[in-house]
Amino acid sequence: MNFLKKYLDRVRPNFEEGGKLHAFHSVFDGFDTFLFTPSTTSGTRGAHIHDSIDSKRTMIIVVAALMPCFFFGMYNTGYQHQLALGLDKFPFWEMMLYGFLAVLPRVVVAYVVGLGIEFIVAQWRKEEIQEGFLVTGILIPMILPIETPLCMIAVATAFSVIFVKEVFGGTGYNVLNVALVTRAFLFFAYPAQMSGDKVFVATGTALGYGQPVADGFTCATPLGQIATQTSDQLTLTGIDGKVLTTWDAFVGLIPGSFGETSMICILIGAVILLLSRIADWRVMFSVFAGGLIMGWIANMCATPTYPASYLSPLDQLLYGGFAFAAVFMATDPVTAARTRTGKYIYGLLIGVIAVLIRTYNNGYPEGAMLAVLLMNCFAPLIDWCVVQANISRRMRRANLTSKNA
Amino acid sequence: MEIKLKKGLDLKIAGAVTDLTVHQADTKVFAITPDDFPGFRPKVDVKEGDAVMAGAPIMHDKNHEDVKLVSPVGGIVKAVVRGERRKVMRIEIAKDENQTFRQFDVASSLDGDGAARLLAESGLLAEMRQRPYDIVPDPAVAPRDIFVTAIDSAPLAVTPELAVAGKTKEIEAAVALLAKICRGTIYISVRPGSKIGNINGAKIVTVSGPHPAGNAGVQAANIAPVNKGEVIWTLDIVTLARIGELVLNGKRDFTTLVAVTGPEVARPSVVMTCEGASVASVLAVSPLKSSDHHVRIISGNVLTGTVTAKDSFLHFPYRQLTVIAEGDDKVEFMGWASLSPAKQSESPTFPGHFFKRPITPDARLNGGRRAMIMSGEYDRVMPMDILPEYLIKAIIGRNIDSMEKLGIYEVAPEDFGAAEYVDTSKLPLQQIVREGLDYMREALE
């Protein structure tokens, strides 16, 4: 790799102050540090050695943890498409290819728009390019229905990167989870295209590959079906009309947002995040605990007015984006609570509110996204209380000793 | 009394001293660096060519004229090295064949004031620190408690008990002197199984746990934390023994044992010399491996030390010299994606985390500086009732009220050494804390 390093060193002067390509110095810097670990060394006082971990490593582990869900999403997109066509043959590689081609433009749009803005802002602020969007860019297509129009993804991504992240100062300073705001923006700005029966299954051709499904096809997600249920006899059906079992939901062969359906893959991701200590187990654990508690309470007082209350607490965790939000969204260290005690409270409330919204508000079949965003707003307040406890402990101690003295 | 600390980080680095035999160095030139003594504003008392005795004052503090830095040997002032805007960088002294020692008037130190004056005059006060602010203590303010640490928990450090073996008499004499100044208790912290027995007048605290358990400030935070308006003094057991020597003989003892450690040292060993010795004379006894890459010579340990050079001098506390690879000449392709077990890390994202063999680190930051992203990283390595992330943010924001409430009086930069190592965002935490402490002191005094 020495020739590459030499090449970069040779062209570097062009990008430095006064060079003719100075306008692209952040981009050059970004690629340079991406390819070669910077050889910047520590100062003359302070720690002389540093751990190998940096934010690139951190972000790439999260992306790796998302990969099982991503690949399963490709498979499931193809699978649901085959079902919608009424076929009973499921050729693996063709389904994977269809899913891949269906999601590819969405990934590309999210990355091009988001990273483009990051590059421009980094250049403008004369900073290094930050890695936060590596994760956000892959999350965005994963939490959206597969049929979300590309132009809407572009608009929503641009909105959240600019107004949720960059105006606050960039990675590390945002209050709200950028990927979730993209989802919420789409949800509220384009409600017709973002919910209902049409968007969760890929019906057209994917970049010209596959057969289109006949017009007039509709199918709701399990939570969508529950929200319109009127009796306590819940039967959830797949898009081929067959009954969906809990096992189907656990494996993830159900209609839903691209990467959110498979509990198995989410759990694999969770194991990666927890073993690598990138995500905090306190948050993850307490989101599930909160969901179970609220699911149990709702189930205890089940009523036909709120059909989702008939779901068992475990089913509450299984359907929709709950598990995905618990593992990948709530654990975002920047927007979550930062204190240890705060993390338990933060997670617990996300779990409770997610189930609360989806059960008692028929307008929103899914509450996980809104619950995380709501608690993002409250995380600083929770932390403030925990910090105040530390402060008043110190004050009490001071008063005690001054009294004794 | 016993304290068990759980949080912290014991880094296993290659190049530990295995043979505690003491080798004598033949040092000709010594230097005292005023920057090693935070809070000390140097005013030079000697000129080049002056003859000085061992223990003679060479600088005093502009704010407290009593507080002196003294010459570690008898000889001739070789150079007063100044930097930009005539800032005093160091005073170099060439050693004479015949050593003459300055005799101190110990008899006048019967009361607290006299004792403090003796410590200030003999340069021993400068080798202690006070909290708040982690500076050379103000001799006029009697400390609430004094914390002496006989533990060095930093990477590759050799136990300071080695230097005070058999000096119980000196330690007791020093405790008796400090007791005149101290309003409360004098604590001496030791590891379990220490050879330091009961010391009259002091309270022995057994401390177990990983680094920074050996830091006197960390121990204080777990025994009796510093509250607003209180002052404590901290020092190590070697300084305590030097005080004892002064009390018993009226002479300053400047000998020090320097552990020469690190992956770049051929045979890590313990070298005896005096305070401020030239690095070359120490490395002459314990040479470096021959290497074709740049090396970094650190006076002190890898977490809190000061960079020095082969032709330069040891820095306070003159106990350790660590030599590691600089690493600025290494080319590493996509290091962030590496699965190599050779990459040292406390994070389980690297396979190297699971191998318990000693690491051979270099001085690279291993990443770019970022905003604080991960949470709870500093907490894991700071055994104090402090919320480090919030304190650091308050310092960066120069918010005096918040800093005070979040406990800045309890901390010193060295307590953040391990946190600075594990930090994903590569923030210069110790520098931030140092600047915060200085800012507070200027604003409040």
State pLDDT tens for residues A30-44. 888 888 877 788 888
In a domain, A351, yes or no: yes
Do residues A292 and A165 both lie within one domain?
A: no
pLDDT value of residue B119: 93
Check CB contact of A387 with chain B, cutoff 8 Å: yes
Mean pLDDT taken over chain A = 87
In a domain, A139, yes or no: yes
In a domain, A210, yes or no: no
Q: Which of B349, B377, B378, B411 to mutate to test the interface with A (most CBs of A within 10 A)?
A: B349
Nearest-by-CA chain A residue for B404: A391
pLDDT band at A342 (very low <50, low <70, confident <90, very high): very high
In a domain, A250, yes or no: no
Question: Among the three residues A139, A162, A194, which one is the final residue of a domain in this structure?
Answer: A194
Do residues A19 and A61 both lie within one domain?
A: no
pLDDT value of residue A218: 66
Do residues A63 and A179 both lie within one domain?
A: yes
In a domain, A403, yes or no: no
Give me the domain span that covers residue A29.
2-35
Do residues A62 and A160 both lie within one domain?
A: yes
In a domain, A244, yes or no: no
Average pLDDT over residues A342-369: 88
- Contact list in B for residue A275 (CB cut-off 8 A) is 348
Question: Among the three residues A153, A173, A194, which one is the final residue of a domain in this structure?
Answer: A194
Check CB contact of A396 with chain B, cutoff 8 Å: no
Close Cβ partners of A91 (under 8 Å, ≥ 6 residues apart): none
pLDDT at A405 over 60: no
State pLDDT tens for residues A281-300. 999 999 999 999 999 999 88
Q: What is the DSSP string of B193-250?
A: T-S----TTSEEEEEESSTTTT-HHHHHHHHSPPPTT--EEEEEHHHHHHHHHHHHHS
Which residue among A49, A50, A172 sits closest to B373, beta carbon to beta carbon?
Answer: A172
In a domain, A317, yes or no: yes
Check CB contact of A177 with chain B, cutoff 8 Å: no
The tokens describing B123, both together, are 């340069």
Nearest-by-CA chain B residue for A132: B373
Number of independent structural domains in chain A: 3
Buried b (16+ CB within 10 A) or exposed e, B5-41: bebbbebebbbbbeeeeebebebebbbbbbbbbbbbe
pLDDT band at A231 (very low <50, low <70, confident <90, very high): low
Average pLDDT over residues A231-244: 71
In a domain, A186, yes or no: yes
Highest mean pLDDT among A240-254, A380-394, B282-296, B320-334: A380-394
pLDDT band at A128 (very low <50, low <70, confident <90, very high): confident
Do residues A10 and A112 both lie within one domain?
A: no
pLDDT value of residue B271: 95
pLDDT value of residue A196: 65
Question: Among the three residues A194, A215, A237, which one is the final residue of a domain in this structure?
Answer: A194
Strands (E), A220-368: none
Q: Tell me if A51 and B379 make a contact (CB, 8 A cut-off).
A: no
| In chain A, residues 74-113 whose CB comes closer than 8 Å to chain B | none
Which residue among B349, B370, B387 sits closest to A61, beta carbon to beta carbon?
Answer: B349
pLDDT band at A216 (very low <50, low <70, confident <90, very high): low
Do residues A19 and A113 both lie within one domain?
A: no
Do residues A114 and A20 both lie within one domain?
A: no
Q: Tell me if B298 and A47 make a contact (CB, 8 A cut-off).
A: no
Average pLDDT over residues A221-225: 77
Check CB contact of A380 with chain B, cutoff 8 Å: no
pLDDT value of residue B321: 94
Buried b (16+ CB within 10 A) or exposed e, B158-170: bbbbbbbeebbeb
| Mean per-residue pLDDT pooled into runs of 10, chain B (445 residues) | 93 92 93 94 94 93 94 94 93 91 85 90 94 93 94 94 91 94 94 89 94 93 91 95 93 94 94 94 91 91 93 93 89 81 86 85 88 91 94 95 93 94 94 95 87
- CA of A328, closest CA in chain B: separation in Å? 14
pLDDT value of residue A59: 92
Which residue among A38, A61, A339 sits closest to B365, beta carbon to beta carbon?
Answer: A38
Which residue among B363, B367, B390 sits closest to A48, beta carbon to beta carbon?
Answer: B363
CB A110 within 8 A of CB A157: yes
CB A99 within 8 A of CB A74: yes
Q: What is the DSSP string of B156-190?
A: TPPPGGGGGTT-HHHHHHHHHHHHHH-SS-EEEEE
State pLDDT tens for residues A144-182. 988 888 999 999 999 999 999 999 988 889 999 999 999
Do residues A112 and A155 both lie within one domain?
A: yes
What number is the ipTM of this complex?
0.92
CA separation (Å) from A232 to A54, A254, A258, A321, A357?
Answer: 52, 21, 29, 23, 19
Do residues A295 and A378 both lie within one domain?
A: yes
Q: Tell me if B376 and A53 make a contact (CB, 8 A cut-off).
A: no
